């Protein structure tokens, strides 16, 4: 008695659980994409700074070489300035490579081609800066927010499914 209805409730709960898991995966991918966008904006800001630093050290090396040739500074100073400029150029290239790696990860997350992503990024980046989080204070988490979490929906549906399966097993024992 009631075994079939309990089985249907259990099956429906398992379907709802699977839907919640799928929503959780979509939310995780969206969060990863958002984090990658912020990381790429930060990376590009650092790349601009590294390029500026490299240009500055190149100019310092050029001026130090001039003073060394004129006899106003030691040749060792010019060598140190050249080494410092080379180091800054290497750091700028490494930072750019890091940004390229982030672009590749965004291509995988978005399923866009790299050309599409770069075009969209160029349009969006024309006026965009690195996002800054707003200050926010929460003394408690609203219950409605918790009810929307896919992992909690999945857990609740798993309990409902288990209860339904228990009822099915109980019904099978009765004549």
First to last CA, the chain: 8
Q: pLDDT digit string (tens) for 52-71? A: 999 999 999 999 999 999 99
CA distance 73 to 50: 27
The reported pLDDT for the residue numbered 156 is 81
Q: pLDDT digit string (tens) for 90-142? A: 999 999 999 999 999 999 888 889 999 888 888 777 666 666 667 777 677 77
The answer to whether the pTM exceeds 0.95 is: no
CA distance 131 to 171: 58
The reported pLDDT for the residue numbered 128 is 61
Q: Is the pLDDT of residue 87 over 80?
A: yes
The reported pLDDT for the residue numbered 83 is 98
Average pLDDT for 141-160: 77
Q: Is the pLDDT of residue 45 over 70?
A: yes
Confirm if 16 and 152 have CB atoms less than 8 A apart: no
Neighbours of 152 (CB within 10 A): 13
More confident site: 99 or 175: 99
Average pLDDT for 7-23: 85
Nearest to 96 by CA among 57, 45, 139: 45
Hey, what are 116's tokens? 């599409």
């Amino acid at each position: 008695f009631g075994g079939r209805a309990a089985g249907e409730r259990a099956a429906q709960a398992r379907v709802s659980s699977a839907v919640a898991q799928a929503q959780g995966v979509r939310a995780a991918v969206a969060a990863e994409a958002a984090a990658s966008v912020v990381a790429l904006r930060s990376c590009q800001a650092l790349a601009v700074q590294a390029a500026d630093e490299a240009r500055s050290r190149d100019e310092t090396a050029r001026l130090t070489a001039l003073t060394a040739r004129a006899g106003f500074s030691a040749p060792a100073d010019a060598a140190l300035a050249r080494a410092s400029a080379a180091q800054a150029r290497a750091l700028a290239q490494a930072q750019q490579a890091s940004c390229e790696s982030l672009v590749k990860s965004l291509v995988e997350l978005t399923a866009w081609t790299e050309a599409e992503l770069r075009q969209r990024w160029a349009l969006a980046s024309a006026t965009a800066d690195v996002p800054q989080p707003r200050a926010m204070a929460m003394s408690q988490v609203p219950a409605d927010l918790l009810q929307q979490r896919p992992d909690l929906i999945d857990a609740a549906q798993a309990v409902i499914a288990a209860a339904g399966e228990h009822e099915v097993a109980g019904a099978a024992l009765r004549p």
